[in-house]
Amino acid sequence: MPMNYAKTALLLVVMTAIFVAMGAVIGGQSGMVAAFLAALVMNAVSLWNADGIVLRMFKAREVDAQSAPQLYGIVAELAQRAELPMPRVFVIDNPQPNAFATGRSPSRSAVAASTGLLDMLSPEEVAGVMAHELAHIKNRDTLTMTVAATIGGAISMMAQYLQFGLLFGGNHRNRNGNGLGWIGMLVAMIAAPFAATLVQMAISRSREYSADRLGAMICGNPMWLASALAKIHTYATRIRNDPAERVPAMAHLFIINPLTGRGVDSWFTTHPSTENRIAELEKLAQEFAQGQDNRNTTVADGDGNTTVADGDGNTTVADGDGGLSRPRGPWSAGLTPRGDTRGQGPWG
């Protein structure tokens, strides 16, 4: 945890320096001072309330057990399994399937899922996605991710301002004699990609692999997350996410890159290859299966009944007529008679 705070502090210092330098280009010494004061306020807000900024930017609305019982129930069960405080749960009205986590600590955290994700994914796949986001919270990735998103977004917007200044006022000089022309163009061309590189360095791609692995352990089935990643990747490249496109520095927050990959978007490729992530989850599923095979003991009697005892001391009996069905998720209360929907977890 101390290393995470050190990385966040370094990120704040370097990105503040870039922001101040861009202020100097726009307004000379007075612009530099103004940018420095703005950066101080922005840093304080980022550390204290960046999660609120991000959620408002994507117009997320908070839900509870009454307004979104299925999603809220899934998150509640997963948080309990992960031994985490219950995060706030939000829904984003966006057709692109995606999700993210935010917050400065596990005690002040939130998870958000788009309406597209809830419409297109099965309950098991939603559980895999939410488990991934809770893994980010448990690993305390969300502080650095949220700070990087807030300040990186401000730098990107300033770079866009400089580009517009070049297009519509390239020969204009302010009172201090500082031109927005070629200097502004160079800053817009160099600072924005450099800021994106900082985001990539701060939001290491290894965080996604780590969250995938821990998320699979939390939900109990790596293939739920693998299936979800494949679906989200397919639709995310086809369905535009306008809020994310406007501020590409926010892209690293999402479980799958929400950008379409055109123009400036390619600078913010903070996610590993989806194919590689799925391959790692498939390997993990094999490890789970091998471990389960090694731990289970199966005994069949002469009447066609089968008893399976696992390493946790649980015993399941299935008769030869197939009168019991498999549980449908990690929260099923053991095997239940076919047609009985009790104990199947929050997705029913």
Calpha distance 148→248 (Å, rounded): 11
**Residues paired with residue 336 on neighbouring β-strands, in sequence order:** 325
Closest among 176, 191, 184, 161 to 29, alpha carbons compared? 176
Q: How many CB atoms are closer than 10 A to CB 109?
A: 26
Q: How far is CA 279 from the centre of its chain?
A: 19
Calpha distance 137→133 (Å, rounded): 7
SS3 88: strand
Catalytic positions are: 133
Q: Which phi and psi (to 5°) does residue 267 adopt?
A: -70, -25
DSSP string for 91-126 = EE--SS--EEEEEEETTEEEEEEEHHHHHHS-HHHH
Angle, helices 142-169 vs 182-202, to 10°: value is: 170
